[in-house]
Structure 1
Amino acid sequence: MNTPPRQIGEFTDWESRYRSDAIDKLPWYTPEPDGDLLATLSTRAIRNGHFLDLGTGPGTQAVWLARQGFRVTGTDLSQTALESARRYAHDAGVEVTWVIDDILNTSLAGPFDWIFDRGCFHVLPPERRADYVATLHRLLAPGGLLLLKTFHVQETLMEGGPYRFDTATIEQLFSSHFQPVESRPSRFEGTLEHQPVALFTLLEPRDPRP
């Protein structure tokens, strides 16, 4: 019997995924720093501070940031992912704080100067998006930035996968606690031959905090 195609927003258990697939074969795996992360650090002259790499997965982005001298915390739901990330950091000779954490029921206290979300928000249940927004507002330091990368509504070639967004929808979903600084189409680097169309958004927290 043929397996029906997976619908957008339908996902397997992340721990099972990391246990069953080789880390370097996962669609979102890249050993290189994310291009939008690189551009943001360069154009905004961000050279220090505490980064939260949210949904760190293989940990490649967190380790790269640690190599640049940032203090880094990497979180993920998957124990297997973090074990792999921990080995990767050890081999690279850098210190990263690894935390098993669910951002929708987080144990994190913050504050973080910068939060990088490369693929977490766009896999969350729609009914929990407001909880995510409020939590990140609490965790982000005044004057900090949320670097948010999601699938773009222009991504039409890939069947299933994460939820898709456009600039207006992101602005609306985050408007209670954040204001947009920058938004642009991009690509999700990884192991797929077709790099999915992405939306990269920079958001700064509104004050005062609750």
Structure 2
Amino acid sequence: MQNKIFFMPFDPNHPSFLSAQYEYGNMGGGMDKNKVQIDHELAKGNKAFSAWWNPKKKDPFVSSLNTGQIYIRGHGMPGFKSIEGGRGGERVDFDEVVDRLISAGLHKTFSGAIKCYNCHSAENGDPNSTDPQAVGGIPFAQRIADELVSRGYRKCRIFGYYGSIDSFVKDGSEGTHKYVRRRETTGGVTKQVEGGRASEARYEFFGRVKPKKPNIFKRMFH
């Protein structure tokens, strides 16, 4: 049995918060993507919960974890520094995602996996892009890994994904799983087709420690 949390790092006070609630929850008869996945995990004997960030208090599920898996939800693009809370929703930069995960109660002793379950989170972008979202072209998962290490979180493992990934389990060639989707054009018609299981497109990232800046004042007076 595993503990799995679907972490929603979106501000409930943001004017576009309803976009996240509609897509991942059941607000206004929404798509309730998290529930589909949670029901699947429960059927397998795992414990699974949604954890919506709240700026006023810690999350009881996140703060109780020492191991297990945390899935960071939201839409991503190759090399983007942010994820999107539902289509047209709030954009949250990687460092703010980490801020919110920590404020939700993530312990430095957490030794489980943090999965950036966002499309293209393992992919580089154009390093020469002038798009403010894609400056440097560094994969979102790498940014998360670097940020966590810089905050002293060194026991957990960080993962990202290549390609467009299903938001929840679906029936496919290998059974009921989450799959990667790719575009295929046949006879002038382009459609998304199955491209293997999402777990096969998962890649581990390791946080890089930034070198400390030399203390020039200390040098001057020694």
Which range, TM-score by smaller chain? 0.3 to 0.5
TM-score normalised according to structure 2 size: 0.41
Bigger CA radius of gyration = 2
**Bigger helix fraction:** 1
Question: RCO greater where, 1 or 2, for CA within 8 Å and sep 6 or more?
Answer: 1
